[in-house]
Amino acid sequence: MKRDLTSLVGLNSKEIDRLFRVTARLKRERKEGREGRYLTGKILGMIFRKSSTRTRISFEAGMIQLGGSSLFLDVGKLQMDRGESVSDTARVLSSYIDGLAIRTYDQSEVEELSRHATIPIINALTDQYHPCQILTAMFTLWEKRGRVSGLKVAYIGDGNNVAQSWLLGAAIMGIDLTVATPAGYEPESSVVRSARGIATISGAKIELMQDPVQAVAGADVLYTDTWISMGQDDESDIRRAAFQGYRIDSDLLEHANREALVMHCLPAHRGEEITSEVMDGPQSAIWDEAENRLHVQKSLLIWLMGDDGIYSAL
């Protein structure tokens, strides 16, 4: 049966835990120079309507390391931008490649590709969700703390695609999550409702508030993202004014647990949402998280594009 990753909705804790275990093995194999060629002959296509550093390079490198290959599809030179429907594109690409990662603005475009394609579709970021990033963030916590269930994460900043994927991921995995945003920048209410519904099963606590100091009290992890996402450049001055007081700095970090980790999905705007002192400090797990994008996405690629026997054998 075809599998997709359009968001974290539909995944369960057992699947994610298995993904973490496979990721840990792949990371270890890479370090020891004995990684397996689990996707030999497979081709991943990539359509990116937004710029990318970590996502594109980690997917491309991951496919090479797994024995496959990737094709970066310049959206400006595809017929999609000249009127061909998403559904027609999905049908055609399904006959050429083995999987498709797309980074775009509208979540609906990912969902439509998923409906019409016969190959796995991977959400490499939309305005609503960033599932690969939050799977990576949770794996990094699992790796460093040995568990994720019961940890407290404080997300400080914009209630954007990263925050919304955190809501879903935390709810699935039993993580207590507090999201602190300025008024008017909260996550979508529909996503909050979905997360709280899932949390009734896992026991996670989901809270929204405006006070960042209160949010980080007792937190095991402080997480943030840029205040100005792609496509919001015309709001730069308004957003910078609204988010004053939502910077992760050494003063805010003092209100969290003594050994709290600091994380950021990157790219960071040093001095805005986070200070260099914290980014480069002893509690930062930012660079581990960045590296782990490669390993988590390799695990995802095997799960989505490999056969069940390959994944079961890992």
pLDDT above 90: percentage of residues in the chain? 89
116 catalytic? Reply is no
Domains contained in the chain, CATH given:
13-129+293-313 (3.40.50.1370), 133-290 (3.40.50.1370)
Q: How far is CA 257 from CA 43, 144, 152, 175, 288, in A?
A: 45, 15, 10, 16, 20
pTM for the full model?
Answer: 0.96
Q: Average pLDDT in the 101-113 region?
A: 97
Grade residue 81 by pLDDT with cuts at 50, 70 and 90.
Answer: confident
Q: Biggest alpha carbon distance in the chain?
A: 55
Phi, psi of 46 (to 5 degrees): -135, 125
pLDDT single digits (tens) 270-314: 999 999 999 999 999 999 999 999 999 999 999 999 977 777 777
Encode pLDDT of 147-194 as tens digits: 999 999 999 999 999 999 999 999 999 999 999 999 999 999 999 999
100 pLDDT band (50/70/90 cuts)?
very high
Q: Which of 54, 239, 247, 293 is catalytic?
A: 293
| Neighbour tally for 41: CB within 10 Å | 9
The predicted pLDDT at position 309 comes to 75
CB 122 within 8 A of CB 96: no
Q: Of the residues 220, 225, 247, 295, which is catalytic?
A: 225
Q: Which long-range contacts (CB under 8 A, 24 or more apart) does 17-24 make?
A: 19/135, 19/139, 19/296, 19/299, 19/300, 19/303, 20/138, 20/139, 20/142, 20/143, 22/299, 22/302, 22/303, 22/311, 22/314, 23/139, 23/292, 23/295, 23/296, 23/298, 23/299, 24/143, 24/295
**Number of Cβ within a 10 Å radius of residue 31:** 10
Closest to 187 (Cα-Cα) out of 165, 220, 212, 219: 165
Residue-level pLDDT at 255: 98
pLDDT digit string, tens, across residues 108-150 = 999 999 999 999 999 999 999 999 999 999 999 999 999 999 9
**225 part of the active site:** yes
Annotated catalytic, 265?
A: yes
Q: Report d(CA 271, CA 262) in Å as an integer.
A: 15
Catalytic-labelled residue, pool 265, 283, 295, 297: 265
Task: Say if strands 221-224 and 261-264 run parallel, antiparallel, or are unpaired.
Answer: parallel
- pLDDT, residue 312, reads 77
C-alpha distances out from residue 250 to 6, 64, 157, 273, Å: 36, 40, 16, 12
| Catalytic residue (one of 130, 239, 247, 295) | 130
Q: Reply yes or no on whether the pLDDT at 233 is more than 80.
A: no
Q: Tell me whether residue 128 is one of the annotated catalytic residues.
A: no
Count of Cβ atoms closer than 10 Å to residue 219 Cβ: 24
Catalytic residue, candidates 133, 164, 283, 297: 133
Q: How far apart are the first and last CA of the chain?
A: 20
Q: What number of residues does the chain have?
A: 314
Nearest to 148 by CA among 227, 80, 213, 204: 204
Residue 175: DSSP 8-state: -
Mean pLDDT in the chain?
Answer: 95
The verdict on whether 280 is a catalytic residue reads: no
Question: Is 103 in the active site?
Answer: yes
Query: What is the average pLDDT across 3-24?
Result: 97
- Orientation angle between helical segments 86-94 and 107-116, nearest 10 degrees: 50
* Whether the predicted pLDDT of 231 surpasses 80: no
What pLDDT, on the 0 to 100 scale, is given for residue 299?
Answer: 97
CB neighbours of 214 closer than 8 A, spacing ≥ 6?
180
